[in-house]
Amino acid sequence: MQNLKQNDINHYLHPYTNLSLHREVGPMVIERGEGVYVYDSEGNRYLEGLGGLFCASLGFSETRLADAADRQMRKLPFYHAFGHKSSEPSILLAEKLISMAPVPMSKVFFANSGSEANDTAVKLIWYFNNAIGRPQKKKIISRTRAYHGVTIASASLTGLQNNHRDFDLPIDRILHTDCPHFYRYGLPGESEEQFATRCAESLERLILEEGADTIAAFFAEPVMASGGVIVPPATYMEKVQAVLKRHDILLVADEVICGFGRTGNMFGSQTFGMQPDMITMAKQLSAGYLPISALMVNERIYRGLVTESEKIGTFGHGFTYSGHPVCAAVALETLKIYEQDGILEHVRAVTPHFQERVAELGRHPLVGEARGVGLLAAVELVADKASREPFAPSEGVAAYAGTRALSHGLITRALGDTVNFCPPLIVTRAQIDEMFDAAKRALDDTLAWRKTLNNN
């Protein structure tokens, strides 16, 4: 096993990793999974408190998905969708997704990741506005602390500094407006509703300053998961959508993390009253078992795409693996499991206990805010609860807490000052207790570590 770890260091370029540090510490090699647990190469068991990367909704040993992949692999392991070609699983999956859409949608385009789905949305927005004679209406607004992916366009939409620094991003025509995090950015004495009004007014100012005839779309996650599980304040989505409608600006709902039951509804758009023109999805679409993503567009946008492809002679966009039959077959089986096993009902049943345990962590001396919805949550660590003073990034306090969680058998993820929780949707009440008991011990360890540093 030591050779395997050294081979990793020698040959594997890891995403979202301190590359210099990795040369010293090497990888944790995960060998197998069982339910909500994974096991490393040393035989240690961990409760996967982040569902891998917000995606392993059915855990790590669902045999129905393995069987679906095997059946399709033996029948038709690959075919493409270019030039009028298709395959049965991709057709059935498109039909199923349209039937599930939270608002009326017309067509589905398949890709391989959330980043690609959002990148495709950007391209189609530009293509659509050219088709309907609005070549100047091309700017796209996202939000600070948003996460929409890592391709050139989707990383530009992402509103996190480390996704831009030294990558020469964001690209032109991508703008950012306020992050709707009431705890961190609300003013003294301001209510959630007043804060939401201020965010909407700030968005409209940006639109008017840039020129409404130049703004094409607004991207929004129902919950800003990778930015720290930021739940929109009361009335925010309603007020923002009124601004967009006033200026004929498309709304793109990024459901890559929130989609398929995470917030207690099939889509986060339903939870927060969003009426999007386009919807992107990935991750829980296949329970993370195979890479697949999708972009749904409404009839108005589809008609524009048809018009422009008639003019040019083709729709010049697509991926070799768009609608890959094996990935589509696994996604179809995933959706069947959600329905047949009552996954949404299970989420709703365990959510109250999950959120109660989150709230308990909010009383810890290190936690400034505990927040969440459905089976998605985060705790934000602060140096001072009263003033909400954050820790200096160089201190790595949340990262230390994440490391201590590992020692207590819990995998989670520290992003900035927050520690995130996003377990598989099949998690039981007892496993929720196991997860938050480990998290509490990790926070206690971190508090003791901080006190030792201060005493020295």
Share of residues in the chain with pLDDT > 90 (%): 97
CA angle 295, 266, 97 (to 5 degrees): 40
pLDDT at 391: 93
Query: Span 436-451, mean pLDDT?
Result: 96
Predicted pLDDT of residue 455 = 75
Cα dist. 275→222, 245, 298 in Å? 11, 10, 11
Take residue 218 and report the two structure tokens written for it: 């607004």
Nearest to 300 by CA among 139, 132, 141: 132
* Per-residue pLDDT band at 451 (split at 50, 70, 90): confident
Distance CA 184, CA 178 (A): 12
Nearest alpha carbon to residue 126 among 283, 253, 250: 250
Secondary structure (DSSP) of 11-53:
H---TTS-HHHHHHH----EEEEETTEEEETTS-EEEETTHHH
Q: Alpha helices of 26-174 — where are they, by DSSP H?
A: 51-54, 63-75, 88-100, 114-131, 152-157
Model pTM?
Answer: 0.96
User: Could you tell me the fold of the domain covering 2-61+342-455?
Assistant: Aspartate Aminotransferase, domain 1 (3.90.1150)
Mean pLDDT of 277-290: 98
pLDDT of residue 61: 98
CA 44 centroid distance within chain: 28
CATH of domain 66-340: 3.40.640.10
Q: Residues 363-416: pLDDT tens digits?
A: 999 999 999 999 999 999 999 999 999 999 889 999 999 999 999 999 999 988
* Mean pLDDT calculated for residue range 208-221: 98
pLDDT at site 288: 98
Measured CA to CA, the distance from residue 311 to residue 128 in angstroms comes to: 12
**pLDDT exceeding 70 applies to what percent of the chain?**
99
Per-domain residue ranges for the chain?
Answer: 2-61+342-455, 66-340
State the Cα–Cα distance between residues 368 and 388, nearest whole angstrom: 6
Angle, alpha carbons 415-416-420 (nearest 5°): 35
Do 2-61+342-455 and 66-340 share a fold?
no
CA nearest neighbour of 281 among 427, 98, 91: 98
Query: Encoding tokens for residue 273?
Result: 């009253």
Q: What are phi and psi of 187, to 5 degrees?
A: -90, 155
CA 80 to CA 135: how far, in whole Å? 31
